[in-house]
Amino acid sequence: MSHDVRVRVLETIAELRACESLQSRVWGFAEREIVPAIEMRSTLHAGGLVAGGFVGDELVGFVYGVPAFAHEAGLAPRGMHSTMLAVAPEARGRGLGRQLKWFQRRWCLERDLDWMTWTFDPLQARNARLNLQHLGAVVHEYQADFYGVLGDALSGDFPSDRLVALWRLASPRVAGRAGDDPHAVGQRLDGDVPHVREARGPGPDDAWALARDAVAGPAPHLVRDLPGDVTSGLEAEVVWAAAPREIGRLRREEPAAALAWAQAFRAAALDLVARGYEASAFLDGAYAWSRRDAKSE
């Protein structure tokens, strides 16, 4: 539970060095990929944020964000780009990732920053659920091979495609989730907490830009997790695009299937983004995309 984890701003070089070690533990980064303590210290001095989650005196997670300028219409001039969120393996499943993000949100709102962006691997279902379902972010930007080949424990030698999450921090959609989330300590805004209408999962007659293709595996009780065909140009109120159930296992054990998912999802997402769709939910292993002009924040 979140009550035994303390989150606070990090300031000392020793604390930032601990963030270096955590990057290596969480992602298996090569030394050249680790964001160094001196860079994080400079970011703090320039108005950014590094916050850590502690159990006792041990750092078990951190979040790192830098000041950002608006890069699209409709955003306030200044916001934050969150570049890293790391949680130690032994501390997962306790809501620390959510607690760190809600702390980051409150820190931004106290400084009149009302939006945040960050990137995430579109094939990692856990990240999609956190960002869209728990936090209320939306996605309408897709970056192909954003970082190049990382070679880390999660991505291996696969392209580093990323979705870009947009978090409108004071929107009813986000405020409602803060009011409902036990990990969002002290996050309720003045006034009534907005009600969050739960989205429904995909139905049998829904439109699919990318469905999951169930294929018999090496044993009768096993089913291989493969992408179906990509359907472009769909016009529907909601269009669904599936993600693999366990992309980490596929990258380790079935690299051809992992690459097929990456290529199929890229094709489906780029088509949807280009035609004005955004993803605002992740349910039953699939992203729900709808037109941006049909949504309200």
8 Å CB contact between 292 and 168: no
- Tell me which H or E stretch contains 193: none
pLDDT in tens, 272-283: 999 999 999 999
Residue 165, beta-bridge partner list:
118, 139
Mean per-residue pLDDT, 281-290: 96
Torsion of CA 138, 240, 156, 90, to 10 degrees: 60
**Biggest alpha carbon–alpha carbon distance for the chain:** 59
- Domain ranges (residues) in the chain: 2-114+169-180, 207-294
pLDDT in tens, 134-163: 999 999 999 999 888 765 555 557 899 999
8 Å CB contact between 234 and 282: no
Query: What gap in Å lies between CA 213 and CA 207, rounded to an integer?
Result: 15
Residue 280, beta-bridge partner list:
none
Q: Which of 122, 296, 100 is nearest to 209 (CA)?
A: 122
Query: Is 2-114+169-180 a CATH 3.10.20.590 domain?
Result: no
Query: What gap in Å lies between CA 279 and CA 138, rounded to an integer?
Result: 6
pLDDT in tens, 93-142: 888 999 999 999 999 999 999 999 999 999 999 999 999 999 999 999 99
Q: How many CB atoms lie within 10 A of CB 194?
A: 17
